[in-house]
Structure 1
Amino acid sequence: MSDFSANLPSFQFEKAVEVCHHQFLPLRERSRGIMLNACSHAVFLCKLLDVFSQIEEPENIPLPLNLDSKRERLKVGIIGGGHTGKQLAKALLELSGLLAEHIQISTRRPETLQELLSLGVNCFYHNRRLAAWAKILFLCCLPSQLPSICSEIQKDLPESSIVYSLVSSVPISRLKQLLCHSSILRPEYQYEANDDSHIWGTSGKITAALHDEAIVQATCPWHPGGGLAANTRWFAAVIYAALNSCSNQTLPYNQSLQLLNNLLCHILGTSKGEEKSYPSFVRENFVSQRFAASLQNEDAFPRFDLTAIHQKDTPFSKLLVSSPALQDHLLQVYCTTLGVSLQAKEDGLPSFSSEPCVSSQIPEAPVEVKP
């Protein structure tokens, strides 16, 4: 349905705002920008984890994030059916490749989610049941509700489950205390007004906006736009979460790397018809050199403490920050995963060698792991 008030200035939101309050108008764009970032990042994470959740032969996994509906899929739980929870569920349904049967929502008033219920999403009020079922659990509740919810679900939360918090004002260290859990992801968004802050807009569907190339590119953590930026450690934690998924299935570290390389270092085409790929990741890109030397062929990676990865630099986060070529390549992967193809530059994509990506430039830095 079109907006009948679009060309009627007197009906616009700004018209009713007093001049003394105009300084607060940019908050609408900022709020929408945060929602767009939150939804796009959640979609990327779920598509990545969906591939990693059921692994047969790493070499048979299709190129990045093509999902097979015949195998067991990622189970996504959302606690909270307010604005954030609803927008997240809609984005996952439309953009992640997951079906309605793979998403469940626990909220105090499930009857208010008629649109999602009609699409086949199971909505109910039972936080403990949802926590026990989901492989990734999104927290979309109010900050005041978080302590009681964490106390309620912590005993039902499987050790391998990932908790993803979209609750503002509650730091990840506090979440770890409340949940007694280390597999937690929490994006932190920093905002600084600039010339392209209007890119987010103030109205329209979130899912429709995430089909826009400029908006998707602006949500990339290491290539931010619109004045909003997520810490690059968040993306590092996402990659370590994927490696944890492999370790949970006792996959040897070399097969975990093979799968990761198949997904993230795949060949990309350029406008000149050339094929470019990023050098393969090696174990030193994710653990300290000393620990890497101790790994045997049959060993799996350790289970990484995702809360610690959010709070300190790791070999992978250092590699990402120090390598513009890797940033450019992963920007292509990120946008392609979200269904957007970036226009190739005049000189094509960055030129990469076929040699492994050695981490000799990266200082040895141990990564905290769960005992």
Structure 2
Amino acid sequence: MLDLTANLSSLGFEAGLGEDEKELVFLRGRSAALTVGGCAHAVFAYELLSLLRKSVNAENGAAKAHLRVGVLGAGLAGKQLATALLRASSLRPHHFNISTRRPETLGEYSTVGVECYFDNVRLAKWADVLFLCVLPSQLAQVCADVRRHLSSGCLVYSFTSAVPLNRLAVLLDHSSVIKPRYGFVACSDVDRAWLLHGQLTSALQDEEVISASLPLSMNGGLFLDQRWVSAVLYGLLNMCTAQKLASGKTLRLLNGLFETSAFTYHTFINSPSASDLDNPDDLFPWISLVDAQAKDTPLTDLVSRDKGLRDCLSVMYYSVFPNLAE
């Protein structure tokens, strides 16, 4: 049916705004950028973890042990992330749980097989990857509830703003925490890049939007701290360590995953520590993801200078989203 109002500017969002209000319209673009970019990056991080888990299972000759993913909090951010994970990644509903105060409102997820309940401790005990999507005002209590129930190998990925990473790590008493840090730069086309679509799923089908959200080369006014990439890669390393995979096998799997030969012992840890790994049957030490996001590391340097690795990460990022359907 023809929409007769489609081109009537008098009915547009900005038509009823005063001059002072129009100066704040750019915030819509920033909000959309954070939503689309944040969900896309979380999906990409999950997909890398999932791909490596499959390789580790095959290496160990283990039965298929899929990553168990939990979303804690199902407000607007939690629902958007859940939708993106189910629609854009390889995650299957029976490997996905959501804990929220009102699970009865999540029929669209429970009907496809996602377990929805209100039990944060249960979720923390179960999940291999836990996405925190709660309000800052709720965070202290949520962390107090779950901190003693997170496994050492559980990766916590925070969508909660206004709480610094170090504070979050203390509240959780957990070092395997990723909190992406975004910033903004002046950009005249910020709205055009991020406001093309009203729905997250349609935005993630748009090549221009995906290009704008590339973690290593974001544009449209938004940028991502590059240490996020290092933290995700260290998260992959820790996954291998948690599965008792020897350092030599770990390097082989990581190089195979990214089709590179760039990863060595010295890529991940400093030279004195790397020299201690004389035996490829030894395990890598456990890496604090909090520290990896607080300072430059050998891996930060590699990512910044190795074009082949950067190109591979970009290709893999693009490959996650093309088949997303409405």
Partners of 1:248 and 1:326 lie apart in 2 by: 24
Instruction: Report the counterpart of residue 148 of structure 2 in structure 1.
Output: 155
* 1:285 is the counterpart of 2:279: no
Q: Residues 313 and 34 (structure 1 numbering): CA distance in 2 closer, same or farther, change over 3 Å?
A: same
Q: Residues 8 and 116 (structure 1 numbering): CA distance in 2 closer, same or farther, change over 3 Å?
A: farther
- Does structure 2 retain, via aligned residues, the 8 Å contact 1:261–1:280? yes
1:122-271 to 2 correspondence within 5 Å? 122-197=115-190, 198-201=192-195, 203-265=197-259
Cα deviation, residue 214, structure 1: 2.0
- Does structure 1 retain, via aligned residues, the 8 Å contact 2:258–2:309? no
1:1-371 to 2 correspondence within 5 Å? 5-54=5-54, 55-58=56-59, 71-197=64-190, 198-201=192-195, 203-265=197-259, 278-295=260-277, 296-339=279-322
Partners of 2:6 and 2:66 lie apart in 1 by: 42
Partners of 1:83 and 1:2 lie apart in 2 by: 31
Tell me the alpha carbon deviations over residues 83-120 of structure 1, each in whole angstroms, 9 at most, x when there is no partner.
10001000000111111111111111112222222222
Cα deviation, residue 81, structure 1: 0.8
- Does structure 2 retain, via aligned residues, the 8 Å contact 1:217–1:224? yes
Count matched residues. Answer: 319
Cα deviation, residue 4, structure 1: 7.3
- Does structure 1 retain, via aligned residues, the 8 Å contact 2:128–2:153? yes
Partners of 1:2 and 1:39 lie apart in 2 by: 33
Structure 2 stretches lacking a partner, 5+ long: none
Partners of 2:3 and 2:167 lie apart in 1 by: 43
- Does structure 2 retain, via aligned residues, the 8 Å contact 1:59–1:262? no
- Does structure 2 retain, via aligned residues, the 8 Å contact 1:43–1:338? no
Tell me the alpha carbon deviations over residues 17-62 of structure 1, each in whole angstroms, 9 at most, x when there is no partner.
22221011111111011011111111111111112335234499xx
Cα deviation, residue 2, structure 1: 9.5
Cα deviation, residue 238, structure 1: 0.2
- Does structure 2 retain, via aligned residues, the 8 Å contact 1:32–1:202? no
Partners of 2:286 and 2:321 lie apart in 1 by: 28
Q: For structure 1, which segment, 322-331 or 79-88, has the greater mean C-alpha deviation from structure 2 after superposition?
A: 322-331
- Does structure 1 retain, via aligned residues, the 8 Å contact 2:52–2:257? no
Tell me the alpha carbon deviations over residues 329-350 of structure 1, each in whole angstroms, 9 at most, x when there is no partner.
322222223448xxxxxxxxxx
Partners of 1:195 and 1:18 lie apart in 2 by: 21
RMSD (Å), alpha carbons? 2.1
- Does structure 2 retain, via aligned residues, the 8 Å contact 1:79–1:139? yes
- Does structure 2 retain, via aligned residues, the 8 Å contact 1:44–1:338? no
Q: Percent identity?
A: 39
Cα deviation, residue 318, structure 1: 0.9
Tell me the alpha carbon deviations over residues 118-163 of structure 1, each in whole angstroms, 9 at most, x when there is no partner.
2222111111101111111111110000000000111111111011
State the SS of the aligned residue for 1:56: helix
State the SS of the aligned residue for 1:155: coil
Partners of 1:145 and 1:193 lie apart in 2 by: 32
Cα deviation, residue 196, structure 1: 3.2
Q: For structure 1, which segment, 213-222 or 18-27, has the greater mean C-alpha deviation from structure 2 after superposition?
A: 213-222
- Does structure 2 retain, via aligned residues, the 8 Å contact 1:264–1:330? yes
Q: Residues 285 and 89 (structure 1 numbering): CA distance in 2 closer, same or farther, change over 3 Å?
A: same
Cα deviation, residue 5, structure 1: 4.8
Tell me the alpha carbon deviations over residues 187-214 of structure 1, each in whole angstroms, 9 at most, x when there is no partner.
0100113133120116422122112222
Partners of 1:6 and 1:153 lie apart in 2 by: 49
Q: Residues 262 and 109 (structure 1 numbering): CA distance in 2 closer, same or farther, change over 3 Å?
A: same
Letter in 2 for 1:143: P
Structure 1 stretches lacking a partner, 5+ long: 61-69, 266-277, 341-371
Q: Which has the higher helix share?
A: 2
State the SS of the aligned residue for 1:24: coil
- Does structure 2 retain, via aligned residues, the 8 Å contact 1:217–1:331? no
- Does structure 2 retain, via aligned residues, the 8 Å contact 1:59–1:259? no
Q: For structure 1, which segment, 1-10 or 130-139, has the greater mean C-alpha deviation from structure 2 after superposition?
A: 1-10
TM-score, scaled relative to structure 2:
0.92
Q: Residues 4 and 322 (structure 1 numbering): CA distance in 2 closer, same or farther, change over 3 Å?
A: farther
State the SS of the aligned residue for 2:217: coil
Tell me the alpha carbon deviations over residues 226-267 of structure 1, each in whole angstroms, 9 at most, x when there is no partner.
1111111011000000110000011011111111111112xx
Partners of 2:3 and 2:243 lie apart in 1 by: 50
